Structure formats: C-alpha cells, structure tokens
Amino acid sequence: MLRLPDDLRGAFKEPLGPVYTDTERLLSKAEGQIIAVGDVVTYHLRTADRDPDVAVIDGKTKREAVGDEIRRVLSGDNPRIEVENPAATLSEELLAALREAVDSDEHTVVVVTEGEEDLATLPAILVAPVGSLVVYGQPDEGMVGVPVTPKAKTDARELMAQFEGDTDAAFETLGI
C-alpha cells in the first residue's frame, strides 16, 4: 500500500521520543495502552510483567532471528493476527491488523510472517488513543517511548503522507 521513499529514510534515524534503557522507568511514563513495535521491546516489557496491549513482532532483531529465550517469552496464548509486510513498506494487511488489535479488548499480537515490522511505529501512533505509549527499539541504544499526543499524531501523519502510494487509502484503512 505504501513504500518508504529512499530520501525519507534519514527521518527514521533520530528517535521519535525519549530513549530508555531501564524498562521500569519507561513503564512509569505509561498511563494508557502500550503498543510495542519489535520483538526485543516486547520481550523487555513482558519480562517486566507488563504485557503490551498490542505487540507487533516479526521474529527478528537487526535482521537476524531472535534467540530462543526471546522466542519463548513471545510465545503465548494471546490472540494473534498474521500479516505480510514487505521490507520498507506498510501493507494494507498490517494497517488493518493494527486497527483491529488496538480496538480489541484483548492483548493482541500482530505477527509479520513475511517481511518486517520496522515501519509500524507511525501507523501505531495514528491508531493509538491519545494517552497511550508507543514503544519501539532504537538499535544499540534502547527503547523509544512515544507518548501519543495530538502533536505526535500530526507528526506521524505528516511523515506517512510522504510515503509513496495511496496515503488516503492507508489513512482510511487505519480509520483516521
């Protein structure tokens, strides 16, 4: 549905919020739903006894398969929605799954079976209720906690609007 243009890749180098290395400190900032994007982030939240309301995982970290301990912690009986999301894209399947997972009353895991979840942070910010916290990994630095505010939503929408493809249809899929 949407593809990240090469000239926009640099916009994702800088974290969209504060970087945390201490999970408890990160969780002290959480007031509403927590949406985790990434296997290692989800692992850290779960081992701190806070199962994210929504987790988006793909079985990889830094393009390599996650280890057995992470895989074990990420397995479980939460409802799962499997999607495909090719690298450097946001597929319609992923966007619809995010919307469904955020709207669910159950802790839900969106599993990217083919492709990657790297760009799911922006649509997660857009579908999350104001007051939520979207958490994603910043490689070799820690976890980024993005408080979902009206400004964060505006910034995420402006970035997504620069993707190649049918952004209006993408926003419609997200219900925004």
pLDDT recorded at residue 7: 92
pLDDT recorded at residue 29: 85
- Binding site annotation covers 58? yes
Q: Taking the CA atoms of the chain, what radius of gyration do you get in angstroms?
A: 15
- Binding site annotation covers 83? no
- Classify residue 111 by burial, with Cβ atoms within 10 Å: 0-12, 13-18, 19+: middle
- Binding site annotation covers 117? yes
Helices (H) and strands (E) in the chain, counts: 7, 12
For residue 172, give the 3-state DSSP assignment.
Answer: helix
pLDDT along the chain (176 residues), means of 10: 92 91 93 96 96 96 88 92 96 98 97 94 98 94 96 96 96 96
User: CA torsion 83→86→90→94, rounded to 10°?
Assistant: 0
- Binding site annotation covers 37? no
Q: What is the C-alpha separation between 1 and 44, in angstroms, rounded? A: 31
What is each CA distance from 117 to 24, 50, 124, 128, 163, in whole angstroms? 24, 21, 11, 17, 16
Tokens of 53: 């309301």
- Binding site annotation covers 146? no
- Binding site annotation covers 140? yes
- Binding site annotation covers 105? no
For the entire predicted model, the pTM comes to: 0.96
